[in-house]
Amino acid sequence: MKIAPEHLDALAALRYDNCEARFLYLVATHSGFFTPQQFTEFAGQSKGRPAFRFTQKLVQRKHARATECARQTHLYDVYSRRIYGRIGKDNLRNRRHLSKELIHTRLLILDFVLGHLDCDFLETEHDKVSYFQQTLRLPLSLLPARIYKGIRSNTKTARYFVDRFPVFLTPEASPPSLPPVSFTFCDLEERDLVGFMTHLKQYENFLRHLPGFEFIYACPNSEKFRRARKFFHRFFDLDDTANIENTVRYFEVRRLWEEKKYNSVDRAGRDLLRWAKQHPRQQLLDAAYQKWVSGSLSAFEVAGVLKPLGGAPPITFSTYVLPRRNDVFESFSPGVGGTAPSGRRSAPVPGRFGQWLDR
C-alpha cells in the first residue's frame, strides 16, 4: 500500500512518528475506530507500552476520544477534523457517529486492511467512482448507491459505496488470469448470513456488468465459509448442478405459464419467471427454452447451451479468516448503560454513539 509522503509529513507535523502516522492514516481512511491491540500488532510490538503512548497523544491533543468497553477493552474514535483535513479526507463519513454494529464492522474492516498492506486499495468514494466510471467505463447509474435527503431542504444527494468495505486492485505481480479488482465483505461472527446475502443483492447488478472480479468473504468465524461459498456460487450461477436444476425448473414453469395454466404456478414459480426476465443471458435462455420445448434439448445439455461463446467473465470467490472478533460491546445490555462481568459500572453506551463519544 502506497501512502503519499505528503500525508505522512502532514501527520508527522502533529508530532506523530512514522509508525504512528502510517497507522493513523489507515484508521482515518478505512475505519475511524481502532483498539490498542490493533496498533500493537501493526507496530510489531509484543507489549502495549507504545500503544499507551500513542493513544495518550491522541486523547490529549483531542484528535481521538476513548471509552472503556467490555473486558476492559479501550476503543478509540479518531474524530478530529485536523487529522482528516491534513490527509485530504475531510469529507469522509468516518467522522460521523455510528451504531454499535457499524463500529464493530469498521474494526473488522481495519483488521482486513492491516492484513493486506501490499494491496492497492481504492480508498475513498471518489477513488472508487473514478475507477469504475473512467477506467472501466461503467455508467454512474450502475454503481451501488444510497440516496440521502437534505435535513433543511428538498435536496437529494447520491453517495456511492457507503458500506466502506475494502475494494482493491490486484497487484501487478499476480497471475494475469486473475480478475483486476477485488471486493470484500467483512462479516460478524453471528451464525446467519443475512448481511452477506443482502449485500450481494445490493451489488448484483453492478457486479454482473464487470469484466470479472474477485469476491473475498472475511469473517472471524471460519465455520461460515462453506455456507457463504455455496450461496455465492448459486447466486452467480457458478454451481453447474444448481444452475441446471434452476434452469430446467424455469423451463417447466414457463411452459405452464404459456399454456395459461396459471393456477399451477406458485409464488416461487412467478419469482423464477421474473428472475429470467432480468437475467444477463436472457437471449441464451430463450434459445435454450425453444430447443427444450421442441424436445431437441435434454436437461443434461442445458449447461452447454447456456455457456456463452468465449466463456463468462472470470468470477472468483475466496475467504479470509479475520484475526479477532472485535466485539467490544458484547457484555453491554441495550439502553443507557451496562455492567461489565466484574460488576464494575462501565461507560454509558446508548443505541447510537452520540453521548459517550462527546464526554
pLDDT tens, residue by residue, 95-131: 667 888 999 999 999 999 999 999 999 999 999 999 9
How high is the pLDDT of residue 178? 54
Assign 3-class secondary structure to 298-350: CHHHHHHHHCCCCCCCCEEEEEEECCCCCCCCCCCCCCCCCECCCCCECCCCC
- Kindly list the distances between the CA atom of residue 263 and the CA atoms of 7, 143, 266, in Å, as whole numbers in the listed order: 65, 39, 7
Host H or E run for residue 156? strand 156-160
More confident residue, 309 or 253: 253
What residue spans define the domains of the chain?
5-220+322-358, 240-312
Q: Give rounded-to-5 percent helix, strand, coil for the chain.
A: 45, 15, 40
Range with the poorest average pLDDT among 121-135, 141-155, 277-291: 277-291
Model confidence at 6: pLDDT above 60? yes
Closest CA to 221 of 198, 192, 182: 192
Return the biggest CA–CA distance within the chain. 78
More confident residue, 333 or 303: 303
Model confidence at 333: pLDDT above 60? no
Mean pLDDT throughout 133-140? 92
Q: Which of 85-99, 184-198, 271-285 is the most confident on average?
A: 184-198
